Amino acid sequence: MQAIMETAFDILYLTTVIALGLAMIRGSRGNRQFRLFGCMAVVLGAGDAFHLVPRALALCTTGLESYTAALGAGKWITSVTMTVFYVLLYHVWRQRYRVQGRQALTGAVYVLAGLRVALCMMPQNGWLGPDAPLSWGIYRNIPFALLGGVVVALFYRSAQTAHDAAFRWMWLTIVLSFAFYIPVVLWADALPLIGMLMIPKTCAYVWTVLIGYRAMKRELGEKS
């Protein structure tokens, strides 16, 4: 039953975010903000597929233990693509609120993203083995959480200042995604049921993509 339900959920998630992303790229009409948002959604779905597809195969065949290396490699790739996702979201913020300059802020975003990717590349993570160390799971997620925190603060403040109803909950989707993700990093190995928090975390990302898609349909539709 777990295999069927989880696989169905993952297929629905991946097809939804990738389809919405492609629709945004095609329907952006040259609008850089929404084209970026579409690319961001495709990166999210394509990156997660590297982990979720092997997981679905494992659940439906011989079990997770038989796919340790594939699952680890998928998590590795997903860790990098999620970092790219937040960098793209930062640039969506710049485009939406017409932010100019602020090179120091952009530099900080790229430093945090680069540090996150560099930590993900370290062999001490043990991605392909059965006993990945918790300590490195914490190390690589520190700059990631800081990056997410920066993006949360930017969207919260800008949406409030601009009275941007379409993006007023963008900050909350990111907060929720981290709130559900961090316990999984810390305790999922000891308490496997904690891993179920990845479902609401995934739903938070779908909400993120839907915010952008609905804003595009409304704002570009009004201009046609």
- What is the share, in percent, of the chain residues with pLDDT greater than 70? 98
pLDDT for position 189: 78
3-state secondary structure string across 28-87 = CCCCHHHHHHHHHHHHHHHHHHHHHHHHHHHHHCCCHHHHHHHHHHHHHHHHHHHHHHHH
Structure-model confidence comparison of residues 222 and 125, the more confident one: 125
pLDDT for position 224: 46
At 94, the pLDDT band (50, 70, 90 cuts) reads very high
- Backbone torsion region of residue 63, taken as left when φ is above 0, otherwise alpha when ψ lies between -120 and 50, otherwise beta: left
Express each pLDDT in 179-189 by its tens digit.
999 999 988 87
Residue 35 has pLDDT above 60, yes or no: yes
Token pair recorded at residue 50: 């590297």
CATH number at residue 210: 1.20.1070.10
- The boundaries of the domain holding residue 102 are 2-223
pLDDT for position 4: 86
pLDDT for position 222: 56
Across the range 123-129, mean pLDDT stands at 93
pLDDT for position 59: 85
Express each pLDDT in 42-81 by its tens digit.
999 999 999 999 999 888 888 888 889 999 999 999 999 9
Q: Report the distance separating Cα 28 and Cα 120, nearest Å.
A: 33
Across the range 156-174, mean pLDDT stands at 97
Structural domain count, the chain: 1
pLDDT for position 192: 81
pLDDT for position 215: 96
At 170, the pLDDT band (50, 70, 90 cuts) reads very high
Q: Do residues 88 and 111 lie in contact, with contact meaning Cβ atoms separated by under 8 Å?
A: no
pLDDT for position 21: 97
What is the average pLDDT value for the chain, to the nearest integer?
A: 93
Q: Report the distance separating Cα 133 and Cα 209, nearest Å.
A: 32
Across the range 156-178, mean pLDDT stands at 97
